[in-house]
Structure 1
Amino acid sequence: MVEKRVAVGKALISRRNFVVGLTFALPVALRSATDMASAFADVTATAPPPSNFMAISRLLTGHPEIADDLGPLAWSALVRRDKGFAAAFTRLADAIGSEKLTELAQYPQSRIAQDPALKATAVDIVSAWYLGVVGQVTPYTEGADFITYTGALMWRPTYDVTVIPSYSRAGPGFWGEKPASLATD
């Protein structure tokens, strides 16, 4: 039997080797496409947060400058990771209202800090804002839900002396501002 060869670029390979190669390449390509789809699916808000979510987030973190547009992403990630989070948040909001907390300095002496369930909910919210992710970042799994990188509060304490890590020479988010001129940028 004469083996027919197929021209691929400048190389000639047998049809059999071409089909075998395609057989192995197709699952890899499909797996990569699935991974990319799931990675991009996590960055969209799926549920609007309660009207008091941002106020409570700002109270618990002590950062009134948290961007409003990140609220739906944070809320969606928290609810997606913990199906009981919405109910736990309602209990936390009610407790904050009954304790009349208006600033972060009051939190350590409140009953919220003493109640393990309320404290866990508060820690989940604060962690989401400080880390910029919800969940554990692990390779080759669905991993964490991304909220923000440059907006994560973990950068704030040393923002004046620490450059946020980036592979871009101009730093993260450089494309957010219009260049001064083509000659200088």
Structure 2
Amino acid sequence: MNRNSDVNGDRPARKAGVSRRSLMLGTVVTGFSAAFGEFGLSGGVARAATVDDATFLSVSRVITGHSELHPVIARRLFAAMQKTFPDYASKIQALSGLVAQGGTPREILDRAGDLKDDLLALNAAWYTGSVQDKTNAPTVAYYDALMYQPTRDGLPVPTYCFDRPGWWTETPPPLGIAVHAPLPATPPAPVPQGIESKAPPQTAPLGTIPPSSPPHSPLPHREL
């Protein structure tokens, strides 16, 4: 019996060891894990949202004033912030206590106190999609960064386009506001009123004051 055949003797037995296909598949999986796992980018599949993730998202929505922030981007941004800034989770807990008092983003900023820098850094991260404003800072979102959203309907995100030729020649979408706000009407000048002019009061003239001594008479000239 041929030892290289299977139990039924129909097919040659597969040699022991790792096949080339398995080796290539393992290499690809390892590469993707290293590329996307550094800042928790695979968290949407491999890691469930934690309590800190939920707190980070709720704080971010209040501070930015945008209730539509995406949970997946929030998890990735939170992971990147934790990797860049030590003990960042405690800062989020402190910000959570701050926003729990209510108010608009501006009102929250006014009473932030020592948390003002942390609040502004979180707001900037959502608007720029990057953890820090510096070269080679980790970037979590680009197309979905908040700074590109106000003009997204009429101006594409840099390096993107509206996927149709000549879109730049089209009329921009309406703004919904007047291009030139009307200036407030200037009220007419009041009608001048006639004013009666009166002569200033006059003082009485001084009377003649008589001299207290007779007038001086010079002595006659005498020759010596």
Structure 2 unaligned runs (5+)?
Answer: 1-33, 165-224
* Aligned equivalent of 1:124: 121
Tell me: CA distance 1:58–1:167, structure 2 relative to 1, closer, same or farther (3 Å).
Answer: closer
AA partner of residue 152 (structure 1): A
The Cα of 1:155 is off from its aligned counterpart by 0.5
Aligned-partner residue type, residue 107 of structure 2? Q
Distance 1:169 1:105 in 2: 34
Amino acid at match of 2:148: W
The verdict on how the C-alpha distance between 1:169 and 1:102 changes in structure 2, with shifts beyond 3 A counting, is closer
- Look up the match of 1:160: 153
2:98 counterpart (95, 99, 102)? 95
Closer/same/farther in 2, CA of residues 122 and 69 from structure 1, 3 Å limit: same
Query: Contact conserved, 1:61 with 1:126, CA < 8 A, in 2?
Result: yes
Higher RCO, 1 vs 2 (CA within 8 Å, ≥6 residues apart):
1
Tell me if 1:76 matches 2:74: no
- Taking the aligned partners of 1:59 and 1:169, their CA distance within structure 2 comes to 31
Q: Could you tell me whether the CA contact under 8 Å between 2:81 and 2:88 is conserved in 1? A: yes
CA contact (8 A) 1:74 1:147 kept: yes
> 1:122 is aligned with what amino acid?
L
Contact 1:85 1:121 in 2 (8 A): no
Give the corresponding residue for 2:184. Answer: none
Per the TM alignment, residue 68 of structure 1 is displaced from its structure 2 partner at its CA by 1.3
Greater helix share, structure number: 1
Residue number in structure 2 paired with 1:146:
139
Q: What residue is the counterpart of 1:180 in the other structure?
A: none
Secondary structure at 1:126 match in 2 = helix
Alignment of 1:42-121 (within 5 A): 42=39, 44=41, 45=43, 48=50, 49-97=52-100, 100-109=101-110, 111-112=111-112, 115-116=113-114, 118-121=115-118
Offset at residue 38 of structure 1 (A): 6.4
Report the aligned-residue RMSD: 2.8
5+ long unaligned stretches in structure 1 = 1-36, 172-185
Identical aligned residues as a percent:
25
Letter in 1 for 2:143: T
**Partner residue, 1:12:** none
1:60·1:126 contact (CA, 8 Å) conserved in 2?
Answer: yes
1 or 2, which has the higher strand percentage? 1
Contact 1:43–1:147 at 8 Å: present in 2 too? no
Change (3 A) 1:41 1:170: farther
Aligned residues: 126
Contact 1:88 1:121 in 2 (8 A): yes
1:27-42 superposed matches below 5 A: 41-42=38-39
TM-score (norm 2): 0.48
- Superposition deviation, residue 104 in structure 1: 2.2
